């Protein structure tokens, strides 16, 4: 089915489930879902699992394993596998690239400078993402507008110029954190145990800490830095929104 900016304008007002159905109808197996195992992504995974038909046209699911995730995240990955029984491709850093980075700068290089932190994120996240998205025409993510100031303008669908113009779909763009938790409770969706201990946003273990009530949800990410809290997977300077969506 042909997809253009006119056809995607119908996503205005769609629910998250309807948005996922639209993606499956228009892209099928040419769409992929990048699952980080955060609460938002567990909501989307639950929706995708319920809609899966097993006919080869289902949306592909992958996750980026940086090698530095929390034990609780790996526990959730195993629980997810046992509950949903859907294939989740695990994509890790290029071994040679990672070995060169750590050999030169040490395993905890990210604490030394912003440039070092970005270099680590590039090797462990950004470059693996590009490999994972190769051949796909659309990718689904769990971004929400109220996650941070940098994400306050997130649209339901954009052209992501940082990934060659692929369609980037955010079914939960207009959801609140309360909406996420309500879905989790109503549908008995497993989520990371760290969410209950002050971790609204969970990344790599050395780079994430709990936040206090009222603090920015992403203030626990790279807490020793100031400014935007992004790793490079979702650069705010890239992507062109489709008007009105």
75 inside domain: yes
Give the span between the Cα atoms of 222 and 208, in whole angstroms: 6
8 inside domain: no
Choice between 173 and 9, residue whose per-residue pLDDT is larger? 173
34 inside domain: yes
Give the span between the Cα atoms of 62 and 40, in whole angstroms: 15
226 inside domain: no
3 state SS of 197: helix
Band of residue 238 on the pLDDT scale cut at 50, 70, 90: very low
230 inside domain: no
* Residues 16-37 as b or e (16 or more Cβ within 10 Å = b): beebbebbbebbbebbbbbbbb
Nearby residues of 55 by Cβ (< 8 Å), 6 or more positions away: none
Q: Give me the catalytic one of 35, 120, 204, 231.
A: 231
Nearest alpha carbon to residue 34 among 163, 148, 153, 190: 163
Q: Which domain holds residue 102?
A: 14-196
Give the span between the Cα atoms of 145 and 151, in whole angstroms: 5
Give the span between the Cα atoms of 138 and 23, in whole angstroms: 8
Q: What are the pLDDT digits (tens) for 28-49?
A: 889 999 999 999 999 999 999 9
66 inside domain: yes
Q: Is 231 a catalytic residue?
A: yes
65 inside domain: yes
Give the span between the Cα atoms of 169 and 23, in whole angstroms: 8
88 inside domain: yes
Structural domains of the chain, count: 1
Give the span between the Cα atoms of 68 and 203, in whole angstroms: 9
Q: What is the CATH number of the domain that holds 32?
A: 3.40.50.620
Q: What are the pLDDT digits (tens) for 64-110?
A: 999 999 999 999 999 999 999 989 999 999 999 999 999 999 999 99
Question: Which ranges constitute the DSSP H helices of the chain?
Answer: 5-8, 16-27, 39-51, 71-84, 95-105, 114-121, 127-133, 177-187
Give the span between the Cα atoms of 73 and 32, in whole angstroms: 21
Alpha carbon of residue 88 to chain centroid: 14
Nearest alpha carbon to residue 89 among 28, 134, 25: 134
Give the span between the Cα atoms of 214 and 37, in whole angstroms: 23
Q: What is the average pLDDT across 139-148?
A: 85
């Amino acid at each position: 089915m042909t997809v253009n900016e006119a056809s995607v304008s119908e996503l205005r007002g769609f629910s998250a489930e309807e948005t996922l159905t639209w993606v499956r109808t228009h892209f099928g197996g040419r769409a992929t879902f990048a699952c980080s195992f955060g609460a938002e992504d567990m909501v989307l995974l639950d929706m995708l699992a319920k809609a899966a038909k097993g006919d080869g046209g289902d949306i592909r699911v992958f996750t980026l394993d940086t090698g530095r995730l929390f034990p609780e995240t790996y526990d959730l990955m195993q629980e997810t596998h046992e509950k949903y029984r859907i294939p989740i491709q695990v994509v890790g850093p290029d071994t040679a690239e990672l070995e060169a980075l750590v050999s030169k700068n040490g395993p905890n290089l990210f604490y030394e400078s912003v440039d070092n932190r970005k270099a680590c994120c590039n090797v462990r996240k950004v470059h693996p993402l590009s490999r994972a998205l190769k051949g796909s025409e659309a990718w689904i993510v769990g971004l929400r507008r109220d996650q941070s100031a940098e994400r306050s303008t997130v649209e339901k669908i954009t052209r992501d110029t940082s990934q060659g113009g692929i369609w980037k779909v955010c079914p939960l763009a207009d959801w609140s954190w309360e909406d996420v938790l309500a879905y989790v409770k109503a549908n008995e969706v497993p989520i990371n145990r760290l969410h209950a201990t002050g971790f609204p946003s969970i990344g790599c273990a050395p780079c994430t800490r709990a936040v206090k009530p009222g603090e920015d949800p992403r203030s626990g990410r790279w807490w020793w830095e100031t400014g935007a809290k992004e790793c490079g997977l979702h650069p705010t300077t890239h992507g062109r929104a489709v008007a009105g969506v």
